[in-house]
């Protein structure tokens, strides 16, 4: 149990049967009346954000989120298959749960599978990946990093905006959170 007066960013708790993660909190002591805690909470299962206020003495049950490293094996239609590298147990996760998380992930890459009480609600790809460019317009001699960019397709099929000097066959480092090109490898 955790009281509202002990809130910290990143803590997950269960409120009215819903699991929330604290994104921001602020202790407020107005001139008149009792103190309260203003929070911004993210619903970890539905990804919605809500703002709520609590009395500092209110208590909530902490929610334990399991994040397990699993290896992405292959996709079969709308189902993505993962394997636990320790037990070799395989699970299939539906496209609805994963969303766009897998667009930069290749087969055999490691991901974090997030679950609450045994129910998988999301997959976190690695923060950075190295992918090869499979399709883009050719770079021209004299093209430099002046801020101009062009679209490029990487080996997973995802599109990334890259500088003009990037060519087919180049390996790129990509931030999976934003989908941005970081550098050539």
Q: Report the SS3 class of residue 105.
A: coil
What is this structure's pTM?
0.72
- Quick one: 112 and 149 in the same domain? no
26 contact partners, CB below 8 Å, separation of at least 6: 37, 38, 39
- The pair of structure tokens assigned to 97 is 């749960």
pLDDT of 123-167, one tens digit each? 889 999 999 999 998 866 665 656 778 899 999 999 999 988 888
| Cα–Cα distance for residue pair 82/31, rounded to 1 Å | 55
Range of the domain at 158: 128-184
- Quick one: 83 and 117 in the same domain? yes
The CATH code of the domain that includes 7 is 2.30.30.30
Pair 165, 183: CB distance under 8 Å: no
The CATH code of the domain that includes 136 is 2.40.50.140
Please give the helix or strand (H or E) that residue 134 lies within, else none.
Answer: strand 128-136
């Amino acid at each position: 149990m955790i009281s509202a007066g002990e809130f910290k960013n990143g803590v997950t708790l269960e409120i009215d049967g819903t699991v929330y993660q604290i994104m921001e909190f602020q202790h407020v002591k107005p001139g008149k009346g009792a103190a309260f805690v203003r929070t911004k909470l993210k619903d970890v299962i539905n990804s919605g954000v809500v703002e709520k206020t609590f009395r500092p003495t209110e208590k909530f049950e902490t929610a334990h989120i399991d994040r397990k490293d699993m290896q992405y094996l292959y996709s079969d239609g709308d189902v993505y298959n993962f394997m636990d590298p320790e037990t070799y147990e395989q699970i299939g996760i539906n496209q609805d749960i994963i969303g766009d998380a897998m667009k930069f992930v290749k087969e055999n890459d490691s991901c974090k599978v997030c679950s609450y009480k045994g129910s998988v609600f999301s997959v976190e790809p690695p923060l950075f990946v190295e992918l090869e460019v499979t399709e883009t317009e050719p770079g021209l001699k004299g093209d430099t990093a002046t801020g101009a960019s062009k679209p490029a397709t990487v080996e997973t099929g995802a599109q990334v905006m890259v500088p003009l000097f990037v060519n087919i066959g180049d390996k790129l480092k990509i931030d999976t959170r934003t989908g941005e090109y970081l550098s050539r490898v």
